Structures are given as C-alpha cells and as structure tokens.
Chain A
Amino acid sequence: MSRFSFPLTILFWVALAAAPLVLDGWNLGLLAQLMIYGIFAMSLAFIWGQGGLLCFGQSLFFGIGAYAMALTTKGMIPGVPAMTLTGLLLAMILPALAAGLLGLALFKGRGLVGAYFGIVTLSAAVIAERLATNWSYIGGFNGLLDIPPMRLGWGSWQIELYDPLPFFLVVLVAAIAAYLLLLKLERSAFGTVLRGTRDNETRAAFLGFETAEYKAAAFAVSGGVAGLAGALFAAQFAFVSPALLGFALATEVLIWVAIGGKEVLLAAFIGALAVKSVEKVLSDSLGQYWLLVLGLLFITAVVLLPRGLLAPFLRLTLPRALRRPEQATKHPTPEGRQGQNAP
C-alpha cells in the first residue's frame, strides 16, 4: 500500500489517454488491442482477487461476448436490429446471465469450492468450444468472418469506426468505465462482503450474508465485463472463432493476472499490457523459448510472489469506513482459533 499508489494510478490513465498524441495509427491499434486484453484481465482479477474464485474458464464469457457482438452486427439474430449498440448490450447481458446462472447453480447449497470450481469452469469452457466448433450456424470450426466495424450515432448521423483513433477512444472509454465500475464495487459494502466470503465463507454466512448470491452476483459482473472485452475484440479483428471460448485464452488471461497481481485491478490490467507487449517484442528474438520463459516466470510469480509483481505498488487504500479497525489485528487469527477448538 505504497504512498504513491494513487498518483501512479492517475498518472497511468492520463498517460494512456495521452497516447494518441505520440503514437501513430498502427501502434494506436495495437495499444487498443492490448487494452481489450487488459479489460478481460480486470474481469478475472475481480472474481479471483476479490471473490477468491479461481475461474479457469473466463474465456467462456469473453467468447460469448465476441459471438454475441458478431452475430448481432451481422444481423444473424432474428428480431434483434443489427446495430453496434444492441451488439454491445447483448455482449454484456448474455455472458453476465450465463455467469450468474452458472454461479447460482454451482454455489447454492453445499456449493463447489476452490479447485473443484476451477476444474468445472475449465470443463465448461472446453464444452463451449466443442459446441461452437460443431454449430454450423455460428460458423463452426472456421468461425465468423467480415464482422462490420462499430458504428456510433443515430439515423443519418453515423460514424463508422474504421480509423484507429476513434476506435482507440472507444476502447479507452470502455476500459475506464470497466475499471471504475469494478473499483466502485470493490470499494463498496458489496466488495467487503465478497472479501469476507473469500477469507472465511462460514463466518460470512454465519453473519447472515447469502454468500452464494454474493458470489454469483460478482461472477455475473465479471462475466459481463469479460463479454464487453470480447465484443470489442470482435469489432477490432472482424473475426471470431471457437478458440476465443476455449482453453488457450483462459490460460493466457490467468498468467497475465497472476503476474500483474490479482487483488489490484490496475495491476491485472497492466499485467496484460506488459506480458502481451513483451511477447510482441521478444517472441521474434526468443522464438520458441518465449513460452518457456513465460511459463517459468508464471511459476515464479505463483510460488514466490503470490500477490503479483505490480500489485504492491498500485494497491489503493480502502475508504475510511471500510478499513479494518486498528485493534482488530491484535486478535488471534481465525485459523488459530479454529485450530484450538478442533477436536
């Protein structure tokens, strides 16, 4: 919780907003792409860092968002107007619904915890990838091509976001909106209950909180944000494929978040930007050794720096009302007490 966290956070967003002043169109497009991955990383960091839910299938929601955007703007969903706005809305609502329902199904009653949740979400992503590969209406193995670019505005006053600069600005606004939304939730009473559930679910339930519903709600928000990232991805690349739903992307996002730091949203965001941009620079010179280096770096981060490389510098202080009272640290830890009472 460094003194410089808050100025650094502001400085980072200002620098990002000032990027169009120094970067040319090509690099601006690249930066927009990195920021899309950053939004995706924040969605995982929220559910993993705050909720303690290790989701191995976050790509599921990214992929649903991307497909929703693609199908809507191509006019392939009957009854839904082929507009960017409806596409974006569906791309957030559908994954949020999917995540919320999956969350309720998995957490209600004697819910799944920890590793079981990880394996089940991983399997869910694999199932979704198989389904998409074999569903010819949504393109099957080849996916969908020629997704139209975003259009903003109404009627005759419409602009098409072909150029990198307006698209970059849209992604910037989306990134800041996602960041502020997740940060607001994290710094609210809701976030406090979520962290309480993460640290000791039995105790949170005992205090009267419906922990399953809190976790499902957080999962839904996380799914919606991941869907937004997927929609932006589809609009930028004009292409979606079943790989967006599956295994490989889910692994990548886990690595970005673990290296950046799961408990701080901005650390996860920068983690994605950093790993992806280092990959672009180094994958030429290191070739096949890059993935080996990344794997080893990931192991090192998990074993030695479980809070991530960047999180310690970017952690913001909580609002005064939500801070832990000073004397609370003097009490014995919950683990210690449980240990004494155990038979």
Chain B
Amino acid sequence: MVAIFRYDNMEMTLLIGLDAASYILTLLLVCIGLVIIFGMMNVINLAHGEFFLLGAYTVVLLQQYALPFAVILVVAFVFVALVGLLIEEVVIRRIYHRFLDTILATWGISLALKQLVIILFGPGSQQAVAPFVEPVAMFGITYSSYRLFVMAMAIAITAATFFILFRTRLGLTARGVIANRQMASCLGVNTRRVDRVTFAFGSGLAGLAGAIMAPLMSVDPQMGVGFLVPAFLSVLVGGTASPLGALWGAGIIGGSNSVVAAVWTPVIAQIVVFSLAILIIRLMPNGLTGRRRR
C-alpha cells in the first residue's frame, strides 16, 4: 500500500488509469471473439491467438503496398474470417459433439498455423507502422494517440458486436441457437449456417484485434501466446453464458493486472492475477455473470 502513495500526484494516477483502461480494452478486443465462439458453439478455440497473429501479419504484408490503414483493417477481418470458415468446415464441424477434442484439435491448428507463419515470414519479429504517431496532450499529460485509437476501436467493436447480437435478426437467431439448439433447429433455423457464420465472425474479430494491435507490438510468431492465457481466464472468470461476461472478465483480469503491475512488477502481477483467476473459476465455475445452478 505504501507504494501507491508514491504516485500520489494527479498525473501519475491518470497515467496508470489510462494504461489500465488500455490493457482492459485490448484484452476485451481479444476476448470478444473468443467468448462468442465459446458461448455460442461450446468450442474452446485455442487457435484464437494464431488468428490474432494472422491479422497482425496481414498488416505487415499489406503495408508494403501502401494501402490505407482502414482498408487493411477490413482486409484483415475478412481474410481471417475466411480462414476461420475454412477451418470450421474442414476440422471443427466433425468434432462438435466431442467437447474435449475441440480443444486438442484447435491446439493442433494453432501449432500448424504458427509454424506456417514461421515458414512464410521467418521466426524474427517484424514491424508494423502506426498510421499516426503524434502524442496527444491532455489534462497535463501526454499520451500515445494510437493507444487512444485502439481504445476507441475496442469500444466501437464491442458495441457493434452487441448491437448485432441484441438488435438484429441475425443476432436473435444466434441467441436462439445458444439458448436451445434443438428447439431453434425445430423452428426452422439452419443451425449449421449459424455455426459457420459465428465461427467465421469470431475468427474475424480475432484477426481484426491482431491488426489493430500490430503497430503497438513487435509482430512475431509468438505474439498470440501472450494474450491466450489472460484472454481465456477472462472468459472463464466472466462466464460464458452471455457475451457480457467478457466485459466483466476483461475488466477484472486487465484492471487488477495493471494495478498490481504498477505497484509491484509485471511478473508478480501476472502470478497474482492468474492465481486469483483460478480461485474465482474454482469458486464460481459458471463465472461472475453465470446463473447459479440449483
């Protein structure tokens, strides 16, 4: 607690707050695709980190052709969504009824995709260029404008996803399939189509997250792994019953991680937060938003 008072001035608190918000929103960006695939299809997609990776490499590749950044983001989303569609059709479709095997198969996909990236681009790290770099001055501090852009994008993408899920006919169908697959099927919903679209959409979101994050990170074949464990813990802590769980999970994991990292070190933060997450998952297996089983 003593350490906190060292940062007792306004600017430092604001800076830590902004960093925390940035980490939380980044995590949310990664989680949202994950929780959609998990909640809707009951598939734990361990290849999510590699979809993120593919999005980031799309940026590296397309920036060589001097395309506008907005176009690159759209291409990254579409490309990774198509990859997801292909994988769903070839692999995942065959093992929906074998829950544990989906983890193993997606793990295998993640190994293969990562190795493919290493073969194509080499194991070294690449650099993606941020479209704008001037820092912004506000409230007496300066902050990276691109980070602010990432935060805004995370909020926008989450809002868009929720809009699609809760305010459109497609979202209604999808939620119907989550709630009761058999009943939805009986009422004439083509559940195969919903599965395909959902998996592609979730994958595309991961690719988009990777593309947006690429300029902030060193783009290398291992970059997906760093997000995988915190993202999964966020999803499990938040609960998979509703996509809202991702908000809670990312908030708790990301927030506590940033605060502990500011007070102690990032390593201690990770150890403390992961242990805390395991404890929460153990005590509330349905997550914070999950309904209690009676």
Contacts and interface: CB of A to CB of B under 8 A. Distances in A.
Interface of A: 54, 105-106, 110, 112, 114-116, 118-120, 122-124, 126-127, 130-131, 133-134, 247, 251, 254-255, 258, 288-289, 291-292, 294-296, 298-299, 302-303, 306
A110 B232 contact: no
Contact of A118 (B103, B109, B115, B225): B103
A28 B171 CA distance: 61
B274 A119 contact: no
Interface in B232-278: 232-233, 236, 267, 270-271, 274-275, 277-278
B107 interface: yes
Contacts of B107: 251, 254, 298
The B contact surface, by secondary structure, is helix
Given A114-B100, A119-B233, A303-B94, A291 B270 contact: no
The A contact surface, by secondary structure, is helix
Contacts of B225: 247
B129 interface: no
B217 interface: no
Given A292-B115, A292-B119, A294-B111, A299 B105 contact: yes
A311 to B, nearest CB: 15
Interface size class of B (residues with CB under 8 A): 35 or more
A334 to B, nearest CB: 15
Given A115-B103, A119-B236, A295-B115, A303 B267 contact: no
B104 A130 contact: no
B180 to A, nearest CB: 12
Interface in B84-134: 91, 94-95, 98-101, 103-105, 107-109, 111-112, 115-116, 118-119
Contacts of A299: 91, 105, 108-109, 112
Nearest to B87: A299
B271 A131 contact: yes
Contacts of B103: 54, 115, 118
Nearest to A118: B103
10 residue pairs, one from A and one from B, having the closest CB atoms: A295-B112, A295-B111, A299-B108, A298-B108, A291-B115, A292-B115, A302-B104, A302-B105, A115-B44, A127-B274
B282 A119 contact: no
Contacts of A114: 99-100
A134 B233 CA distance: 22
Nearest to B38: A115
A123 B111 contact: no
Contacts of A118: 44, 100, 103
